[in-house]
Amino acid sequence: MEKDGLELEITELRLGLPGRDVAEKMMKKRGFTEMIMTSSGSNSDQCESGVVSSGGDVEKVNDSPAAKSQVVGWPPVCSYRRKNSCKETSTTKVGLGYVKVSMDGVPYLRKMDLGSSQGYDDLALALDKLFGFRGIGVALKDGDNCEYVTIYEDKDGDWMLAGDVPWGMFIESCKRLRIMKRSDATGFGLQPRGDE
């Protein structure tokens, strides 16, 4: 008898009435398809419905068997909390999608999807768009006369100047971006790229 979804050991001792199979009862009651709703779209959709798919996303869910399903409204965590914790896990993955971008002088941060840019040029354009064309793009493209420098925080927590490493390496390690006023960075001997 297949005991889907609950990982019950077949040899488990229980004091329930003989012959009563909890998993089967659960499934009979709810209908397996009712309990599992296949995800459509992003993590945040999943979270809002309070149900997580076990279908196509098995690979993402670490080590759980293919049939492990989540039941509606279980565990009993209120939807506000679910939404706020889901946000965390979906946005802190390094290199996967959205990173925070802050700019000196701007009172709020932005988020952008690194994955949607093809290279540093693209990124320059995207940053310009994000903060209203203040010439950030020029900064990235090696403009020493520009008002800003673009730096990023890498996996180790260090702040690096954007543009030194190949694009692929960059997006893998970039956790967040900061557009800093060049005047704040003076005295740090910023060498133009290409110098020995």
Amino acid at residue number 195: D
Binding to another protein by CB under 8 A, coded x per residue (else -) over 90-119, reads: --x-------x-x----xxx----------
H-helix segments, 64-190: 79-91, 120-130, 136-140, 167-173, 182-185
Among 2, 10, 19, 20, binds another protein (CB under 8 A): 20
Q: How far apart are CA 160 and CA 178, in angstroms?
A: 10
Number of residues this chain uses to bind another protein (CB under 8 A): 53
Q: How far apart are CA 113 and CA 130, in angstroms?
A: 11
Question: According to the 3-state scheme, what is the secondary structure of 84-112?
Answer: HHHHHHHHCCCCCCEEEEEECCCCCCEEE
Site for another protein in 48-77 (CB under 8 A): 49-52, 60-64, 68, 70-77
Question: Which residue lies nearer to another protein by CB, 27 or 124?
Answer: 27
Q: Which stretch binds another protein (CB under 8 A): 18-26, 125-133, 141-149, 185-193?
A: 18-26
25 binds another protein (CB under 8 A): yes
Nearest one of 151, 184, 182, 179 to 165, comparing CA atoms: 151
Site for another protein in 130-189 (CB under 8 A): 159
Contact yes or no for 21/27 (Cβ under 8 A): no
Q: Which stretch binds another protein (CB under 8 A): 13-21, 118-126, 162-170, 187-195?
A: 13-21
**What are the residues binding another protein (CB under 8 A)?**
6-9, 12-17, 20, 22, 25-26, 29-30, 46-47, 49-52, 60-64, 68, 70-82, 84-86, 88-89, 92, 100, 102, 107-109, 159
